[in-house]
């Protein structure tokens, strides 16, 4: 009897193991965990270890030490030395000030526009819905170039800006420094808040507000007691997204801060990397990661562990709009004014400057297409030809298109698969583990993430076992594959978020019904999941496509002469003082992104708001 029970227990265990191994969900979880461990955890551990190991160049600074010894030298130098104030604390305070101000202003602006677009009878909604996401298509550092063109003065900028030409001399603190950085980043990041909060507003059943109105609640009370608590998760998510991005952004602080010696944590990080102070740069990166983790923890405590709210009931899902009444003309006018100043004016300034032979001279004779299609002239930037006549332009354009297509496609496919795992395993520890792992790249600033991959793939990492050499991390520096790899991994948090949102809309009962009919996992995925998720797939693809097309911070230290992209080409022109050439490249980037998104939206119903 005991032997029979023992045999039954062993048999049950074997069946449990066999079913676990054969389960498609478990296979996907194991593959996702293994891949994320190799591509995220291992490089992160490598980053931490590097900060505690003494580099050969610093051996002479530590008495009796040798290269590779464990040491607290870098952390002591960063946290409590004579250079700590200028290297860490002052740039960190600058970054915290900028990130906090940008987050609050962006959420206020984006939230107000989201409410108008979703909950009011605002006219021209189709036009506004497209116009409001145009800032997402334009790199933030392009807006900084437009800002400089308007507000710079001859005292710092070398040439006069548009306001100076008109006789209006703006103060230097408006052209460069924290105010300029906050304004430009707010104009850029409000689009993120708008996308997130508008998606939350659409999910709220207006019957909830109608019930409050029936009970005698005023509009402000309903906003405070009903609407605001329901969109609080979206507001908190917007704060985390914008705060983290503002803390780690490089382009805008570099353009608007370095000329006046205003360093942020990201520009100091870039300077450390360029000076080959890798361990110091990684130490700064870990501090940034720690700050991001603290912000996320606070978010968890504020809105609670429950992130989903049942706002759609079985009896109705109406979304009635509030009439603006007499305020409608003024609101429409303010929106057009906002779009004119924050969207169309920067684009117009970039176009205008790309046609000016000499900056600061707005006379008709100074306008030309030289920087677009002109032949090289010795008296204009050392004979540099127009962008379309530059022999490297087609190669750079090809590199950019190849990178964004390949990286976006790979990231979207893996994002949909990871989204499937996290959506189907929301109540399981395995699903939560994958969700936490895939979120880690988001915590690491882009420029630090690029440096981390540079460290991992600049030398071969292999082991020899039984005379056989096994390479775990090959040398990829300077290759196109490294750009694809780092871009895919860095964007996995966004693609998986889009994939999860997509898969959440597909009821699991459809798969269960097919499973009853003995349909295998691949058949179910091919015949049910994929056809129902095609719209979300295209939306997720466009979300990543736009992010990769304008990416500079992540790739700036990984790009080689043969793998240059359009953002890097524009940055190189700008760094060399060739602003008009840089403007031309920025305009080309915007046109490519806008046209492709319009085609995807028109013919494939792609909508990037579905990715949020």
Q: Report yes or no: 480 and 403 within 8 Å, Cβ to Cβ.
A: yes
Residue range 604-611: mean pLDDT, rounded: 63
Name the packing angle between helices 178-202 and 228-248 (round to 10°): 140
Model confidence, pTM: 0.82
State the pLDDT confidence band at 610, using cuts at 50, 70 and 90.
low
Least confident of 268-277, 404-413, 462-471: 462-471
Where exactly are the structural domains of the chain? 101-275+325-350
- In the block, tokens 């994958």 appear at 434
- In the block, tokens 């304008």 appear at 550
Judged against a pLDDT cut of 60, whether residue 557 lies above it is answered with yes
State the pLDDT confidence band at 5, using cuts at 50, 70 and 90.
low
The CATH number corresponding to 101-275+325-350 among 1.10.3720.10, 1.20.1440.230, 3.40.220.10, 3.30.413.10 equals 1.10.3720.10
Judged against a pLDDT cut of 50, whether residue 148 lies above it is answered with yes
Judged against a pLDDT cut of 60, whether residue 306 lies above it is answered with no
Higher pLDDT, 142 or 333: 333
Judged against a pLDDT cut of 60, whether residue 312 lies above it is answered with no
The total of other beta-carbon atoms located within 10 Å of residue 422's CB is 26
Which pLDDT value is given to residue 6? 56
Q: What angle do CA 307, 309, 315 make, to 5 degrees?
A: 160
pLDDT tens digits, 50-81: 899 888 888 888 888 888 889 999 999 999 98
- In the block, tokens 């750009």 appear at 483
Which pLDDT value is given to residue 307? 45
Which pLDDT value is given to residue 310? 44
State the pLDDT confidence band at 208, using cuts at 50, 70 and 90.
low
Which pLDDT value is given to residue 314? 42
Report which of 399, 434, 418 is spatially closest to residue 551, judged by C-alpha positions: 399
Judged against a pLDDT cut of 70, whether residue 202 lies above it is answered with yes
Distance CA 268, CA 282 (A): 11
Q: What is the mean pLDDT of the chain?
A: 82
Which pLDDT value is given to residue 240? 82
By three-state DSSP, how is residue 82 classified?
A: coil
Which pLDDT value is given to residue 537? 74
- Residue 495 token pair: 């693609």
At 264, give phi and psi (nearest 5°). -110, 175
Which pLDDT value is given to residue 404? 92
pLDDT tens digits, 243-254: 888 888 888 998
């Amino acid at each position: 009897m005991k032997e029979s029970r023992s045999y039954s227990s062993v048999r049950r265990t074997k069946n449990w193991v066999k079913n676990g191994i054969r389960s498609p969900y478990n296979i996907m979880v194991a593959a996702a965990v293994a891949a994320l461990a190799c591509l995220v955890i291992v490089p992160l551990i490598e980053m931490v270890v590097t900060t505690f190991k003494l580099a050969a160049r610093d051996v002479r600074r530590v008495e009796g030490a040798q290269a590779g010894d464990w040491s607290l030298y870098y952390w002591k130098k960063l946290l409590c030395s004579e250079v700590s104030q200028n290297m860490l604390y002052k740039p960190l305070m600058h970054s915290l000030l900028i990130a906090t101000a940008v987050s609050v202003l962006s959420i206020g602006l984006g939230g107000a526009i989201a409410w108008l677009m979703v909950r009011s009878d605002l006219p021209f909604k189709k036009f506004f819905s497209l116009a409001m996401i145009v800032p997402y298509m334009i790199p933030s550092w392009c807006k900084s170039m437009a800002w400089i063109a308007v507000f710079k003065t001859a005292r710092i900028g070398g040439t006069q800006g548009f306001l100076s030409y008109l006789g209006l001399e703006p103060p230097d603190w408006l052209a460069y420094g924290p105010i300029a950085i906050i304004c430009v980043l707010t104009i850029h990041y409000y689009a993120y808040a708008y996308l997130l909060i508008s998606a939350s507003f659409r999910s709220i059943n207006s019957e909830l507000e109608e019930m409050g109105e029936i009970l005698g609640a005023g509009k402000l009370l309903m906003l405070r007691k009903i609407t605001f608590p329901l969109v609080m998760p979206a507001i908190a998510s917007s704060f985390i997204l914008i705060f983290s991005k503002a803390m780690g952004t490089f382009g805008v602080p570099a353009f608007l801060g370095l000329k006046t010696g205003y360093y942020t944590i990201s520009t100091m990080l870039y300077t450390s990397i360029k000076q080959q102070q890798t361990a110091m740069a990684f130490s700064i990166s870990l501090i940034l990661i720690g700050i991001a983790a603290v912000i996320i923890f606070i978010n968890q405590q504020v809105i609670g562990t429950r992130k989903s709210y049942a706002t759609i009931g079985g009896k109705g899902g109406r979304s009635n709009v509030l009439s603006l009444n007499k305020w409608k003309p003024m609101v429409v006018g303010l929106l057009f004014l906002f779009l004119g100043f924050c969207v169309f004016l920067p684009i117009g300034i970039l176009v205008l400057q790309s046609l000016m032979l000499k900056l600061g001279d707005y006379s008709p004779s100074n306008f030309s297409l030289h920087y677009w299609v002109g032949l090289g002239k010795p008296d204009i930037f050392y004979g540099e030809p127009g962008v379309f006549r530059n022999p490297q332009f087609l190669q750079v354009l090809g590199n950019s298109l190849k990178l964004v297509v390949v990286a976006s496609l790979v990231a979207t496919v893996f994002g949909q698969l990871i989204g499937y795992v996290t959506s189907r395993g929301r109540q399981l520890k395995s699903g939560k583990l994958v969700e936490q792992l895939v979120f880690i790249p988001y915590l690491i600033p882009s420029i630090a993430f690029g440096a981390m991959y540079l460290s991992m793939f600049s030398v071969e990492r292999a082991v020899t076992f039984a005379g056989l050499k096994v390479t775990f991390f090959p040398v990829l520096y300077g290759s196109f594959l490294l750009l694809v790899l780092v871009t895919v991994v860095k964007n996995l948090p966004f693609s998986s978020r889009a994939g999860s949102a997509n898969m959440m809309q597909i009821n699991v009962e459809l798969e269960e019904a097919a499973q009853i009919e003995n349909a295998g996992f691949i058949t179910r995925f091919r015949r049910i999941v994929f056809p129902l998720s095609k719209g979300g797939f295209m939306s997720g693809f466009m979300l990543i496509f736009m992010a990769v097309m304008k990416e500079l911070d992540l790739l700036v230290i990984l790009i080689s002469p043969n793998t240059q992209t359009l953002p890097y080409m524009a940055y190189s022109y700008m760094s060399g003082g060739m602003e008009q050439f840089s403007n031309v490249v920025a305009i080309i980037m915007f046109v490519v992104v806008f046209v492709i998104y319009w085609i995807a939206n028109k013919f494939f119903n792609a909508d990037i708001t579905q990715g949020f």
